[in-house]
């Protein structure tokens, strides 16, 4: 077995927001062209296009995004496909792009995540999102995605005796860092009081604990060492590990609601592949679609004991200059969460950190991790990038 090394050579992203003047395809093309330009390559170098997207069929009445985006990029002819894994679609697309390059079959691949959640022409967004859970056993009951996460939240508080004010702090953290991020959706701070007094969406989850609906696209260019040498590129970042794991699609089949076993499995494999431990990670982006998830991920990724993830937030350990700088982009809560794009945004942000050009730069960051979740943990994809010079 001889896995080809895979390098990240360029990235791009649109601002996340309500883009009433931009369609699904224009968002994707904007991010993709920026990634190609950033990489110093030509569009004609791209051999395959991967599109991470969850709900274009339900929201825009549009499938076949591989051919569509290749067409609108002006490079029909390349290989292309859409990858779907609910809210982890973007990171799952990155994983496929990684495998495509690691195989040696493709030397230069473009991967982008895109989602347009405003201006939905077919379904409403809540109906589209719950398709991430089991249609026959869960969604049919009328459960919404925030409702399912409320069950996790309540269960966690009861099991570990944790107060909501300690969990809700994650939102305050995210908003603080989004201020400096030009592509973030909500560039303003919020206080804990404001979070806790915001409208109740699904008890106990408050509005300001929920990631927002938004439109956006992010893209990255991946390539082989051979391609880099041929093009004379000066590349600095490699993919040290790219792993994916599943869990039962519904909470009802889980033994423990307070842990995502898919995170634990994917992380274990990723750490082993990259030959690192959690303490080696300089910066990370985690999938905090709701505040409680941020807390749980810190534990499942190996940074805190179960029931104690919130302490890292409260004690300032996830700040920029602290133990494990986390969600310096603003996270899902404040950077935004255009679902199928989010996984690629996270990796793009880690890439920026390792290149030394992130809005909230961690000095000398060498190793970064992005964790992405589909559904209520039915899929988790973890990617670890490493600066190589």
Sign of CA dihedral 349, 352, 353, 357: negative
Instruction: Supply 351's token pair.
Output: 């890439």
139-to-18, 130, 340 alpha-carbon distances in Å: 27, 6, 20
Q: Which is catalytic among the residues 173, 183, 287, 337?
A: 337
Closer to its own copies by Cβ: residue 249 or 296? 249
Query: If you ran DSSP here, which 8-state letter would residue 5 be given?
Result: P
Closer to its own copies by Cβ: residue 6 or 202? 6
Q: How would DSSP label each residue in 109-162?
A: EEEEEEEE-SS-SSS-HHHHHGGGS-TTTTGGGT--HHHHHHHHHHHHHHHHT-
Closer to its own copies by Cβ: residue 96 or 329? 96
Closer to its own copies by Cβ: residue 76 or 356? 76
Min CB(208)–its own copies separation in Å = 27
Q: At what angle do helices 291-300 and 169-178 cross, to 10 degrees?
A: 90
Min CB(327)–its own copies separation in Å = 24
In contact, 206 and 200? CB cutoff 8 Å: yes
Closer to its own copies by Cβ: residue 78 or 201? 78
Min CB(193)–its own copies separation in Å = 36
Closer to its own copies by Cβ: residue 173 or 265? 265
Backbone angles phi, psi at 261, to 5 degrees: -65, -25
Query: If you ran DSSP here, which 8-state letter would residue 324 be given?
Result: S
Report the residue count for the chain.
389
User: Distance between CA 259 and CA 238 in Å, rounded?
Assistant: 30
Min CB(381)–its own copies separation in Å = 8
Using CA atoms of 380, 187, 146, 300 in order, give the dihedral in degrees to the nearest 10.
30
User: Distance between CA 145 and CA 101 in Å, rounded?
Assistant: 34
Min CB(105)–its own copies separation in Å = 6
Contacts of 357 (CB under 8 A, 6+ apart): none
User: Distance between CA 259 and CA 380 in Å, rounded?
Assistant: 12
In contact, 379 and 373? CB cutoff 8 Å: yes
Let me know if 210 is a catalytic residue.
no
Min CB(65)–its own copies separation in Å = 7
Q: Which is catalytic among the residues 87, 108, 210, 223?
A: 87
Residues annotated catalytic, as ranges: 87, 337
């Amino acid at each position: 077995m001889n896995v080809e090394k895979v390098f990240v050579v360029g990235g791009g992203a649109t601002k996340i927001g309500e883009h009433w003047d931009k369609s699904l395809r224009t968002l994707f093309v904007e991010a993709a062209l920026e990634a190609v330009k950033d990489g110093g390559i030509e569009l004609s170098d791209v051999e395959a296009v991967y599109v991470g997207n969850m709900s274009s069929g339900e929201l825009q009445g549009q499938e076949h995004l591989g051919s569509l985006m290749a067409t609108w990029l002006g490079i029909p002819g390349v290989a292309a496909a859409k990858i779907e894994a609910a809210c982890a679609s973007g990171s799952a697309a990155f994983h496929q792009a990684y495998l495509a390059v690691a195989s040696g079959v493709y030397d230069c691949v473009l991967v982008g995540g895109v989602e347009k959640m405003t201006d939905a022409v077919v379904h409403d967004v809540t109906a589209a999102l719950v398709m991430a859970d089991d249609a026959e056993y869960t969604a049919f009951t009328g459960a919404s995605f925030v409702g399912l996460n409320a069950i996790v939240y309540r269960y966690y508080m009861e099991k570990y005796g944790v107060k909501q004010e300690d969990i809700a702090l994650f939102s305050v953290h995210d908003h603080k860092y989004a201020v400096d991020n030009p592509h973030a959706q909500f560039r303003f701070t919020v206080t804990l009081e404001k979070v806790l007094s915001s409208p109740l969406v699904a008890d106990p989850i408050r509005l300001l604990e929920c990631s927002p609906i938004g439109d956006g696209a992010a893209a990255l260019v991946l390539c082989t060492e051979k391609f880099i040498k041929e093009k004379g590129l000066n590349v600095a970042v490699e993919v040290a590990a790219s792993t994916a794991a599943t869990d039962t699609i519904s909470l009802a089949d889980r033994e423990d609601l307070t842990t995502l076993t898919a995170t634990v499995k994917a992380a274990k494999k990723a750490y082993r592949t990259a030959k690192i431990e959690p303490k080696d990670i300089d910066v990370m982006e985690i999938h905090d679609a709701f505040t409680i998830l941020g807390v749980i991920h810190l534990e499942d990724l190996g940074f805190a004991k179960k029931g104690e993830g919130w302490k890292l937030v409260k004690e300032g350990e996830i700040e920029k200059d602290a133990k494990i700088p986390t969600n310096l982009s603003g996270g899902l809560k404040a950077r935004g969460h255009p679902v199928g794009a989010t996984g690629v945004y996270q990796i793009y942000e880690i890439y920026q950190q390792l290149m030394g050009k992130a809005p909230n730069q961690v000095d000398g960051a060498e190793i970064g991790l992005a964790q992405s979740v589909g559904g209520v943990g039915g899929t988790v994809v973890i990617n670890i990038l490493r600066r190589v010079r």
